[in-house]
Structure 1
Amino acid sequence: MQKLDGNIEAFKVCETDGRYAVLWKRKDGNYGPEFVASETWHQIRQSKEKVNWSKLVWFSQGIPRYAFITWLAIRDRLSTGRRTSSWGQPQSCIFCMEPDETRDHIYFACPYTFMVWLKVTGNLFGLEPDPDWDITMTRLRTGSYDRLTFILLRLVFQVSVYLIWRERNERKHNTSYKSVDQLAKVINKTVRNRITSLKYACNPRLRSLMIRWFEAHDTTT
């Protein structure tokens, strides 16, 4: 019998019908003849209680690299001015020059980012978005939305968090600046490209996803 990391029994050798066979341990304590990566992963990882915002980050229609930045933002681990000040690198908000650049300021208390957020959410919330981070998170987690609207809200949230952070870094290191309208168009296009990549028209559960997105941004009604 061997162990993983000194404490997880990975497999054991047993004799069946005069032949030796390797059996791999499952998470329920039993053993099976095949190695299953997910079963082994659940044994070696440190399990913690599921957080109430997990569905805002990890969902099948999301974009992995955008989800990662969103995860960092929710955990307040982005290298904002407040965090870098402890490293001797204080920094004000590059969008509006607010002296204390925090996660909550960037999303979406800053006038620039809030105007972007207003444009890209449309009427998905059912009411006007709030610039307060905690209120936004609460509405995303606890609001009563139909399935398509909930998918779009999470998707536009992830895309906005990622692209606003990228715009912030581009302004910091380069000379390129996007206006509110320009950044909103990039976010809108990214969301539509993601919807298209899901082959929504062929999926009965997603068939009206693009229609719902356009409805949310129809300014003629």
Structure 2
Amino acid sequence: MGNGKQAFFWHDNWLRSGKLIDITGATCTRYQGVARSARVCDAVSTGQWRVRGQRSRNFHELHHKIQLEPVPNNLMANDQFLWRHEAYVYKDSFNASKTWEQIPNKWNGNKLATGDRLRKWGIQQGCVLCGERDETRDHLFFACPYSYTVWDRLASRLVGRRINPDWQDMLRFIQTGASNRADQVLIRLVFQAVVYNVWRERNGCRHQHSPRGIEQMIKAIHKGVKNMISSLRYPWNHPLNGLLRR
């Protein structure tokens, strides 16, 4: 951080905790009195942070963390945007392999990064799809009644009796459980589509979009998978094309 004129308050990682809009959701812009398009310098007035939330049970820790940050001013240099190449080493150049190594847990772990950061600040983030108090990866995929209903309705014909809400078990089935090549391709397409759409729906609801009903979600995913199969241009009698006639 420098003078705070380039970095966005809600959309840049100036607090070293991730993007604040992802951590708190869109409602926090109202609670803290900082516009969604604001730069960091816009949250400063007369040499002090002007951020509400000290009396809010949900945002007290975030407010406290901001107050501990040095207050930017016009005498400081411009903000700098750097990529972390390794621990404590930051550069202004992007390196794909170095960046990949900095992603915590990569594909492993049951925690959702945003929810984990919120819990460290004393903010409990529940599932916006079903109301479960603690949102984790394993809950969202597919212990959540909403996401499991979508998964079950779309994948049960392919998975059969093995269909269940356990993330690890479903991953094992997708990797090795299909009886033939056509089923393997199809189940992977369905799995990818369900995970993508559930995650997108979750993020939309987190930012105050109206949630889609389960039937609407199922129809949208089904249509998307059919379109993907059509674009692959399999012969008319290929087993995958059976889905197009369902």
Q: Specify the TM-score bucket, using the shorter chain as the normaliser.
A: 0.5 to 0.7
Q: Which residue of 1 aligns with 2:241?
A: 210
Matched residue SS, 1:200: coil
Match of 2:235 in 1: 201
2:197 equivalent to 1:166: no
Q: Give 1:162 deviation, angstroms.
A: 0.5
Taking structure 1 as the reference length, the TM-score comes to 0.57
Q: Distance in 2 between matches of 1:74 and 1:154?
A: 19
Asked if structure 2 preserves the Cα contact closer than 8 Å seen for 1:92 and 1:101, the reply is yes
Q: Quick one: which amino acid aligns to residue 171 of structure 1?
A: C
Distance in 1, matches of 2:134 and 2:224, equals 30
Q: Cα deviation per residue 1:146-194 (whole Å; 9 max; x = unaligned)? A: 1110001111101111100000011111332111111111111110110
Corresponding residue pairs, total: 145
CA shift, 1:126, in A, is 2.7
TM-score normalised by L of structure 2 = 0.52
105, 120, 144: which one aligns with 1:86: 120
Deviation at 1:142, TM superposition (A): 2.5
CA distance in 2: counterparts of 1:108 and 1:115, whole angstroms: 9
Distance change in 2, residues 1:83/1:105 (3 Å): farther
Structure 2 distance, partners of 1:80, 1:184, is 26
Higher strand share: 1
Match of 1:154 in 2: 188
Residue type of the partner of 1:124?
L
Residue 222 of structure 2 is aligned with which of 182, 185, 188? 188
Equivalent residue number for residue 66 of structure 2: none
Report the RMSD for the aligned CA atoms in angstroms. Answer: 2.9
- C-alpha displacement at 1:214, in angstroms? 5.4
Contact 1:118 1:129 in 2 (8 A): yes
* Match of residue 142 from structure 1: 176
Query: Residues 92 and 45 of structure 1: is their aligned pair in 2 closer, same or farther, counting only changes over 3 Å?
Result: closer
CA contact (8 A) 2:111 2:136 kept: no
* Counterparts in 2 of 1:76 and 1:130: CA distance versus 1, 3 Å: same
- For residues 202 and 191 of structure 2, what CA distance do their matches in structure 1 show? 16
Residue 201 of structure 1, CA deviation: 2.7
Per-residue CA deviation, residues 182-220 of structure 1 (Å, 9 max, x unaligned), is 111111111011001111237x8xx22121x358xx6xx
Structure 1 portions without partners, runs of 5+: 1-43, 47-70
Counterpart residue type for residue 140 of structure 1: I
Runs (5+) with no aligned partner, structure 2? 1-95, 99-104
How far did residue 137 of structure 1 move?
Answer: 1.4
1:72 deviates by 6.2
User: Taking structure 1 as reference, are residues 116 and 74 closer, same or farther at Cα in structure 2, changes over 3 Å only?
Assistant: farther
Give the Cα separation in 2 of the matches to 1:93 and 1:184: 19
